[in-house]
Structure 1
């Protein structure tokens, strides 16, 4: 085939480059270094984002099988290694590298996260009888059009997939149109929601009802938040505010805004744990603040930053408030609003809305429970998917693998 011939030619040039000091990255991608360890399941994700989204499934599989993780980037590889899993850079889609990789790893299942379609990898796995699966699969309308012009490449790749869970209905339909067998389709899962859905929120608590968290705020939002809190305190004098900027390095700037309003500055970076206003200018403690607050304003939505994820506050059963700029997660915010779990506000309405929710904790709790219900419904339950992947990995004995 033309594709295979071109791959062989490219590999020859790459090997020469590697022999002339092409670096550790190229050598590992050509599998010219130490061979990979033997593994039951080969999991591949492009980089950090893909692997993080699938971590719950990867670690569940690793609980009962030997898993080898590959990534296209050193950062993705190193992150997976930090989870305690064997990890290395993925072999390039060229015959020699793939052959050396598969000879050593001898996987029973090849699992790809999200959206990479490698024709030669697919064909060589199939020749060795290795089942292929994808999770969180996605393909944009634009990519589908491009692949549609290369149906001779994409259709056989999709036709060899035995199990695929798409991230959304649109991706699933586009993949079917390009050649994915109907029999391979599994229930859809949004991988990025699995980690939030695994969070166990605290029970409803009157202490949370009077705490408002402004999470991941940006420049231009903190003053608005402080003024809204002061306005809400006119009717709810015991209302507390946790102000957690997206970038803790802005702590001094925000402390100045707090002091300018005649307020005591309590900074988490200085050891403070509570106060009428707590400036949470540290890293790695957002779970603590979500657990403490029943009402959450999502930063990056008053200024045009596109907004941060609504799913973390939803996981903690927070009543969700936000501004008009939500382009980064527009569909999720719309689903939460439809369920009565989130409200879009203009700055001048923020204080009054927070005051009403603090005065009516049952309403805020209903919003929080509705947010969690939307999250759980959209995340789905990965148990059946994990069971199917385990079944695929056990479809053959190692002695039956071809090419050994």
Structure 2
């Protein structure tokens, strides 16, 4: 018992220290409501049973939207309470018509308070959001969708095998996003009976209907003449700027939407753009019309995808492993990417094998690809090929059926 209890005791100490940092930031920058939410308070459940769905942020939540909509249609008697680690995730949930809160910290008493307050009867968590106290205290089924476990993360959990095994033993259904993750979860102690279908939630992404560009934006940035550098990281903006200047020589009306992965870097990125002689409008200030639109806000990437006929996927010219190709492909954009695609190796391999995307290695290659795709039909042609190659392989109906099998309808409910 002592040997088994030591990892959990260590975890409780570490999560308590982590909680102090989170609460300090919440109190300083977000206010008392955020602190209350992090401590499991502020419930308004009214005694109605609810299913707790948790996503790290807006990206994970957007990927799960088709599953969420299917669950709501099948079980209107079981409303959702959604939690996220960020306010942008909560904002997206509310736009989807869902009740949302910042997630309670994984402190046993805070989790228990949240469960009581919202009448939670089960839990769905997305991707890698696995919290031992939360899972241990759940009064009903625990489901993991799009479960992701890298070799590095598996090695970390392997250092506390008892904790990992007890946590995974409480999971009723885990649908991994790839076969490697599934095998690593099984090796750590996931019961074989809990291993569900392999489904990459990001492949199920559908463009939201509430993020259409405003008329002034659409007029200032015509799709055929606009390209997007999406979720860029330090070191990539310089490449993007150089490529834009070069491609502009052949396409004078070319417009750029530059969306840094972290908007807090916007001032530095704006300085780079201005130093290169480019006019800049900043979304955070409500500006539009300049040659470059600096998308320095959160939660609007779908709007930028809708505006751009060509999309460079950020994180692929650094050591970040790249970001999702599924979302821009869903908008029919022509896809451009660098060599580092480790986070989405399989879909990028399918794109490259099918010649449905353009791989580049530097500013010169990016500029050449932009110029080669200047014609609208070239953009729509390549974009259509990407959408076809990345067509979801998973059976959404089968996944939803597996989830619903873990929740019995209330008496008298169809």
TM range (shorter): 0.5 to 0.7
Q: Any conservation in 1 of the 2:126–2:147 contact (CA below 8 Å)?
A: yes
The answer to whether structure 1 residue 254 and structure 2 residue 273 are counterparts is yes
Q: Which runs of 5+ in 2 are unaligned?
A: 213-220, 261-265
Say if 1:28 and 1:151 are closer, same or farther in 2 by CA, change over 3 A. Answer: same
| CA root-mean-square deviation | 4.7
CA distance, structure 1, for counterparts of residue 161 and residue 247 of structure 2: 56
The answer to whether structure 1 residue 111 and structure 2 residue 130 are counterparts is no
- 1:166: how far off? 0.8
- 1:41: how far off? 0.8
Partner SS state of residue 198, structure 2: coil
Say if 1:145 and 1:299 are closer, same or farther in 2 by CA, change over 3 A. Answer: closer
Bigger relative contact order, structure 1 or 2 (CA pairs below 8 A, ≥6 apart): 1
CA distance, structure 2, for counterparts of residue 103 and residue 210 of structure 1: 53
- 1:32: how far off? 7.4
Length-normalised TM-score, structure 2: 0.67
CA distance, structure 1, for counterparts of residue 157 and residue 294 of structure 2: 46
- 1:341: how far off? 1.3
Partner SS state of residue 90, structure 1: coil
Mapping 1:83-98, distance limit 5 Å:
83=95, 84-87=98-101, 89-90=103-104, 92=106, 94=108
* Residue of structure 2 equivalent to 1:348: 364
Residue by residue, what CA displacement relative to the aligned partner does 1:347-394 show, whole Å, maximum 9, x if unpaired?
A: 4345554444446x665444212211233326x454433343334232
Residue number among 217, 240, 251 corresponding to 1:221 in the alignment: 240
Say if 1:37 and 1:163 are closer, same or farther in 2 by CA, change over 3 A. Answer: farther
Q: Any conservation in 1 of the 2:315–2:323 contact (CA below 8 Å)?
A: yes
- 1:105: how far off? 3.9
CA distance, structure 1, for counterparts of residue 207 and residue 170 of structure 2: 31
Number of equivalenced pairs: 365
Partner SS state of residue 172, structure 2: strand
CA distance, structure 2, for counterparts of residue 164 and residue 287 of structure 1: 28
Length-normalised TM-score, structure 1: 0.68
Larger radius of gyration: 1
CA distance, structure 2, for counterparts of residue 391 and residue 295 of structure 1: 42
* Residue of structure 2 equivalent to 1:236: none
Partner SS state of residue 280, structure 1: strand
Q: Any conservation in 2 of the 1:193–1:311 contact (CA below 8 Å)?
A: yes
Residue number among 129, 133, 141 corresponding to 2:143 in the alignment: 133
CA distance, structure 2, for counterparts of residue 193 and residue 279 of structure 1: 30
CA distance, structure 2, for counterparts of residue 87 and residue 47 of structure 1: 12
Q: Any conservation in 2 of the 1:40–1:66 contact (CA below 8 Å)?
A: yes
* Residue of structure 2 equivalent to 1:211: 225
Say if 1:396 and 1:140 are closer, same or farther in 2 by CA, change over 3 A. Answer: farther
Worse-superposed segment, 312-321 or 346-355? 346-355
The answer to whether structure 1 residue 279 and structure 2 residue 289 are counterparts is no
* Residue of structure 2 equivalent to 1:157: 167
